[in-house]
Amino acid sequence: MSIDNIIAEAVARAVKELYGVDADPASVQLSTTKKEFEGNLTVVVFPWVKAARKSPETVGKEIGDWLVDNEPAVSRFNVIKGFLNIVIEPTYWNSVLGHIAQMPEYGTEKAGENSPLVMVEYSSPNTNKPLHLGHIRNNLLGYSLAEILKACGNRVVKTNIVNDRGIHICKSMLAWKKWGDGATPESTGKKGDHLIGDFYVLFDKHYKAELAALQEQGMTKEEAEAASPLMKEAREMLVAWEKKDPEVRQLWETMNSWVYAGFDETYKRMGVDFDKIYYESETYLEGKEKVLEGLEKGLMYRREDGSVWADLTADGLDHKLLLRSDGTSVYMTQDIGTAKLRYQDYPIDRMVYVVGNEQNYHFQVLSLLLDRLGFKWGKDLVHFSYGMVELPEGKMKSREGTVVDADDLMDEMVSTARQVSAELGKLDGCTPQEVEEISETVGLGALKYFLLKVDPRKNMTFNPKESIDFNGNTGPFIQYTYARIRSVLRKAEEAGMAIVPYETVVPCEREITLIQTLADFPATVREAGRSFSPALIANYVYELVKQYNQFYHDCSILKEEDEAVRSLRLVLSECTARVVKTAMALLGIKVPERM
């Protein structure tokens, strides 16, 4: 049992005996004592003041006295207003450490057959361009959130919806047809998603030139856009696609296959995966069917032009278009279709959409519509709304080819990691293969950690140079500390240092602080799952390695002559390494055994 549970149960017994109050141990408010006060754990006593008919200070003192007399884990206490600060008996921390050491999966829970099934959707790329920096944040947040929810005891399905149809796809296809000269990934030596992205940019370049020429002839910008022959061709291609024109469909399938091969390569390197991938081309018709079904039941209405709408004014929103007058679908229709297919495939208890905050309104509407159409999880769907990511230079635009490509960024991060690691001597004595492995692990770890340590709801600026630093709140600092601990443990093993009983050792302040931080890990994982925040895990593991480094600096490990003290420190090091590895894995980050 954890120290928090022991104290919570003891406090519940105390208030029952002292004041006749039945307190659920889970309701006892416990936190780590603030650094300016003496103590390890703080209990909020205000909930029992009314029943006791005494001042908060008196209630705190009476509960504290009871704990000292009846709970062996409590050494002494002090009361500050309505807060009872408890000092845990120092040797008791040894049993806490022993408990942690005996649990290989410490901090995480295994899902059972009846555990809630949570589906997490992330990535959602378009097949007209490669993944970029914004996609990296989306993928890393989605993957990490799925791993955290899994660690909280949920069954999790990771899904992706690929936007593989629409006018933007036709733009790339038309540009390839007009100016591609039969180019393929093989003939150009380019990844398929990069090749298609080039044609998307090329379309925009020709389109802009066409608009400029039409405006020179005296047209307004709006008139030029309406008259553009190139855009007209793209729209005609979309209509042909919807009518299943064999030639258009064949080109579409070929170009998409190039893109998917490129995406798979990027996902693999990024370290993210999916249990099920859905495609908009397969879901949009399902959505139309579901909307028309809703129309028949009087849940939607049709306007004079034939378009289908939902009236959401009773819910404080407006009227939402679901089918255009020509019968074509909008994004909302596709999301309804995808939801229908997912619900057929899996008995979902909760649905989490990882999508940027510019889509907040969209998901408000989707939640209401799904609920109206009878999806039991519709009302409770979670839009994991995250902020945008920019570079120090500013925003990016796909059409203009100014995005930061995911593959290029990962290459740059690995290259920088190799250079910085070599300059600091971290790669001395490594084989060429080890150099590549460490550079990849550190470079991608730096990228992931920098993007995940920030509160996901905030917009952020990604600075590649700041992220690769072996000091401060960075991935490489945590990875290096892990490698340092593994090195200590290897040396202990090579020297034949056995672990002997250490229960009677009185741990010092540094050791107690570190053990208590390890004891906080399960609660941190639960809170990260509850609040959908990988940043809580990132900042927890940073605090843990900071404390380990202070302990390492102040407490001799391998040179400690007292065998019991040395054993405690080795077990403490082993547990710290294990928690660091588990926490970083929840962020999708690898840690190197050597560095």
Q: What are the tens digits of pLDDT across the range 289-318?
A: 999 999 999 999 999 999 999 999 999 999
Last residue of a domain, one of 32, 54, 89: 89
Domain that holds residue 474: 406-586
Torsion over CA: 437, 438, 439, 443 (sign):
positive
Q: What is the tens place of the pLDDT at every residue in 87-118?
A: 999 999 999 999 999 998 999 999 999 999 99
Q: What is the pLDDT of residue 393?
A: 65
Residue 364 lies in a domain: no
**Against a cut of 0.85, is the pTM above it?**
yes
The count of structural domains within the chain is 2
Q: What is the pLDDT of residue 273?
A: 97
Last residue of a domain, one of 73, 89, 105: 89
Residue 510 lies in a domain: yes
Q: What is the pLDDT of residue 1?
A: 66
Q: What is the pLDDT of residue 398?
A: 42
Residue 318 lies in a domain: no
DSSP state of 329: B
Burial of 369 (0-12, 13-18, 19+ CB in 10 A): buried
Q: Starting from the edge strand earliest in sequence, which strands make up the sheet with 117-121, in order? A: 276-279, 155-162, 117-121, 350-356, 382-386
Torsion over CA: 480, 486, 490, 491 (sign):
positive
Residue 263 lies in a domain: no
Residue 296 lies in a domain: no
Which CATH number characterizes residue 49's domain? 3.30.1360.70
| Long-range Cβ contacts of 390-397 (<8 Å, 24+ apart) | 390/459, 390/460, 390/461, 390/462, 391/133, 391/461, 391/462, 391/463, 392/461, 392/463, 396/132, 396/133, 396/134
Last residue of a domain, one of 67, 89, 111: 89
Q: What is the pLDDT of residue 331?
A: 87
Residue 233 lies in a domain: no
Which CATH number characterizes residue 512's domain? 1.10.730.10
The residues with which 319 forms a beta bridge, in sequence order, are 311
Please list the rounded mean pLDDT of every run of 10 residues in the chain (595 residues).
88 95 93 92 95 95 97 95 95 93 94 96 93 92 98 98 92 96 96 95 95 93 93 92 95 97 96 96 91 94 95 94 86 93 94 94 95 90 90 53 79 90 86 92 95 92 80 92 96 95 93 95 96 96 97 96 97 98 98 89
